[in-house]
Amino acid sequence: MQTKHAHDKQPGKRMRMLVDTLARRVITFSGMLAIISIAGLLLSFVLEVWPLWKNPRVEITERWHPGELLSSPDNHIIAAVTEEYRQVMFLLSRNGQAFFVQTDTPDHTVLASSAFPLQEEEYFTGVEFSIDGHTALAMSNTGRIFPAVLDYNPWFDGDQRVFSPKLNLFDPIELFETEATLQAVAFSGSPEEENFVIAALTAENSVHVWKRSVESSLFGDDEITETRIVVPPTAAVATALSIEGPAQALYVGTRDGSISKFSLDVEDEAVLLQKFQAAETPITLLGFLIGERSLVVGDAAGNVSVWFEAFDPEQAGVRTMLRAHTLASHNTKVIRYSPSQRDRTFFTVSADGDLIMHFSTNERTLYRRKLEQGSPLFMRFTPKGNGALLLFPDGELVELAIDNPHPEASFKAYFGKIWYEGYSRPEYVWQSSGGSDEFEPKLGLVPLIFGTFKGTVYALLFALPVAIFAALYVSQFMHPRLRGIIKPTIELMAALPSVIIGFIGGLWLAPRIQPVIPALLLMLVLVPVSAVLLGWLLRIVPLPAFVKQRSGGMEFIIMTPVILAIAWFSFSLNDGLQSWLFAGNFQQWLVETANVTYDQRNAFVVGLVMGFAVIPIIFTISEDALSNVPATLTAGSLALGATQWQTAWKIVLPTASPGIFSAAMIGLGRAVGETMIVLMATGNTPVMDWNIFNGFRTLSANIAVEIPEAPEGGTLFRTLFLAALLLFLITFVVNTAADIIRTRMHKKYQSS
């Protein structure tokens, strides 16, 4: 019989073993799948962010001699520029011949040609182009200046882009009564525009300015005025020129390393505005980057720096030229530069052929190479910044292909202080977009990291004490019948969508809090004090035994009307507090006395609203940890004469501290990653200020705001992935540290 009974149990045992094996494998597979998913997510972030740190690629795509197009052996090409698609190139020769050639054909087909009206034995000594490359200013050996405008006229023949280029020539400008040798020329505007300014430096160290302006009268007539100005001589020999178009200012570099800034706004004279020392050696190069605010300065020692006008911190209210960036230097004098038309990237080249590609904002050296042919005669970025043209004295034209997708990205740009145009000092700034192509992206992540921790700190300052003390009261003091109602109710709060909480906080609560801030501050003091006093009174006031017995664990019912009374009392005193303590206006008082601004959607509102969202998580986990403290510990404490409060404070709370700490860390993680509440309840201003009445922007909210407008694969797009990776790492580090601390706390109190 026993053998038969054991035999009957064998199939059941096998089934249980099979189920256990299957369950173990399913759980193992699920765990491995979760780990692989997280690792895959992390890897996808890294792959998206990695291109930000790659160096640009610069390759030579073609070498050829455009001088083959010229008929005279004495003639040679002195300048070459291309349109944005790099299909048509403009070439200008020493003898005034101009060509538009098709660059995507093997034989470089000539599309159009023209000639400048040079006199006999007159030739070009150099040419200057505007930053956009459409206006050219050629200098002749006689001192005459020839303006021209390049028009490529692209159009489509079916699906093929076709060009009908044309060179628009204008009358030459004679700045001097007699022949003069021009050393440098700078200009602003275009001969096709109303305002056109040209400055020229002669070999005799004289600087002349020619201005044309057009004024419209009330009757619709245009009055054209041409003015010639002789710039006052500087103390040292002038060596370089540049014109800031929007401000109508002329910069003159000198042999002693100083730069003089002249205003050209006055009708017939140049007024000296400022003189500043920019170098210890002669200034050899002056030129502006896109936007015409950042001035590139090169000197005879090979130093390269960028200056712009801003308020001097040491001279309040005075705008002066400040050295903002010091870039990689050359070994010999800087002789030529070329700015990009897309961003703050630019080339500089020295007399010994050292070529450097800089990015001014983050002072990054993008590319450096020693040219075998020596220093180029002419150098030019292509319009899209994806290439460059180098023309050498031997007539060879070298075309470069440039892959430089993320020049703005660097460790310093993301986590360091950057000196941006117009700022008086380096700062942490986030501003990813602007209204024009001249905008300088500001991609500092430090304000977003700061905002993330600011919102988390203020939320936890409100949520932690409320949630933990509520959990302590519910688990140790509340009547079991009420506990069965209160705990599920609080846990249901966690199911509220954060977008609803943010909507209520941003659009309903924030405008109602603004006029009653004094009352709320008074409540933050009176409510805790009243709770302590009420507990003390209930303890010392003699009450009938049946009342104490029936009211045990029901104290919150007594406290609720007290809190309501305190709230009514505080709000009734709000106007009086405004008049008595804050001169009738709390917001104005903050500005005048503490220089603190008040934003309607601020950290105070977020602390209340996000704290409300975090409380259920912290409360639930803390209450479970407190309720799971062994009853033998509490019974032993009470048996030794401790009160219920002493037992809860000195026995239950320390024993449950690992679980409470875990609750706090989970709440912190919830607050760090919160998006919609922060997005809707703050002004989303990325400022670094602990002011509780000011706004902020978090990493998660920034991703939600910026990602719809970020072009895929662009710098902003990848920067947002970097922000997501940082958020992931912050959460991972916090949770790992929390788990280590929780384990140690658990071992400590378990062993004790």
pLDDT at position 647 over 70: yes
Contact (CB, 8 A) for 242 and 251:
yes
- Total length of the chain: 752
334-355: average pLDDT: 95
Choose the most confident range, by mean pLDDT, from 242-246, 358-362, 732-736.
358-362
Q: Of 102, 256, 218, which Cα lies nearest the Cα of 164?
A: 102
Banded pLDDT at 1 (limits 50, 70, 90): very low
Tell me the C-alpha distance between 602 and 514, whole Å: 10
229-255: average pLDDT: 89
126-145: average pLDDT: 93
* Alpha carbon of residue 269 to chain centroid: 42
pLDDT at position 545 over 70: no
- What does pTM read for this prediction? 0.87
Count CA atoms closer than 13 A to 349's CA, side-chain side. Answer: 26
Phi, psi of 478 (to 5 degrees): -70, 150
Tell me the C-alpha distance between 301 and 283, whole Å: 9
Predicted local confidence at residue 612, as pLDDT: 87
Banded pLDDT at 216 (limits 50, 70, 90): low
Predicted local confidence at residue 232, as pLDDT: 87
Contact (CB, 8 A) for 269 and 229:
yes
pLDDT at position 218 over 80: no
Contact (CB, 8 A) for 513 and 521:
no
Q: Of 71, 169, 165, which Cα lies nearest the Cα of 111?
A: 165
Residue 645 token pair? 């409060």
Spell 314-335 as b/e; 16+ CB within 10 A means b: eeeeeebbbbbbebbbbeebbb
pLDDT per position as a tens digit, 697-731: 999 999 998 988 888 889 999 999 999 999 988 88
Residue 619 burial (CB < 10 Å; 0-12/13-18/19+)?
Answer: buried
Q: Give the SS3 label for residue 205.
A: coil
pLDDT at position 554 over 70: no
pLDDT at position 193 over 90: no
Tell me the C-alpha distance between 473 and 244, whole Å: 71
What H or E segment, with its residue span, contains residue 138? strand 135-140
Predicted local confidence at residue 217, as pLDDT: 60
pLDDT at position 379 over 70: yes
pLDDT at position 111 over 80: yes
Lowest mean pLDDT among 266-270, 497-501, 623-627: 266-270
Predicted local confidence at residue 4, as pLDDT: 53
| Residue 350 neighbours by CB under 8 Å, 6+ apart | 302, 330, 331, 332, 333, 334, 335, 375
Predicted local confidence at residue 541, as pLDDT: 67
Average pLDDT of the chain to the nearest whole number = 87
What H or E segment, with its residue span, contains residue 536? helix 517-540
pLDDT per position as a tens digit, 280-321: 999 999 999 998 999 999 999 999 999 999 887 776 667 889
166-179: average pLDDT: 88
Contact (CB, 8 A) for 516 and 576:
no
Spell 691-713 as b/e; 16+ CB within 10 A means b: bbbbbbbbbbbbbbebeeebeee
19-32: average pLDDT: 88
Predicted local confidence at residue 442, as pLDDT: 92
Tell me the C-alpha distance between 379 and 81, whole Å: 9
Tell me the C-alpha distance between 735 and 728, whole Å: 11
Contact (CB, 8 A) for 427 and 413:
no
Predicted local confidence at residue 643, as pLDDT: 81
Choose the most confident range, by mean pLDDT, from 61-75, 378-392, 524-538.
378-392
pLDDT per position as a tens digit, 422-476: 898 999 999 988 767 678 899 999 999 999 999 999 999 999 999 999 899 888 8
Predicted local confidence at residue 557, as pLDDT: 73
What H or E segment, with its residue span, contains residue 336? strand 334-339
Residue 336 token pair? 């030529």
Residue 696 token pair? 């902020």
Count CA atoms closer than 13 A to 538's CA, side-chain side. Answer: 18
pLDDT per position as a tens digit, 321-337: 999 999 999 999 999 99
Radius of gyration of the chain (CA): 37
Which strand ranges, in their side-by-side order, compose the sheet holding 364-370? 334-339, 345-350, 354-359, 364-370
Contact (CB, 8 A) for 169 and 114:
yes
Strand bridging mode 397-403 / 430-431: unpaired
Predicted local confidence at residue 351, as pLDDT: 94
Residues 406, 411, 412: CA angle, nearest 5 degrees: 100
Side chain identity at residue 670, one-letter code: R
494-503: average pLDDT: 84
pLDDT per position as a tens digit, 54-88: 989 999 999 999 888 887 777 889 999 999 999 99
Q: Which domains does the chain have, with CATH numbers?
A: 446-751 (1.10.3720.10)
Residue 107 token pair? 């034989």
Residue 3 token pair? 């053998």
Residue 576 token pair? 């009086």
Q: Is the dihedral of CA 586, 588, 589, 595 positive or negative?
A: positive
Tell me the C-alpha distance between 676 and 693, whole Å: 19
88-103: average pLDDT: 93
Phi, psi of 603 (to 5 degrees): -65, -30
What H or E segment, with its residue span, contains residue 187? strand 182-189
Tell me the C-alpha distance between 338 and 400, whole Å: 14
Predicted local confidence at residue 316, as pLDDT: 65
Tell me the C-alpha distance between 398 and 391, whole Å: 6
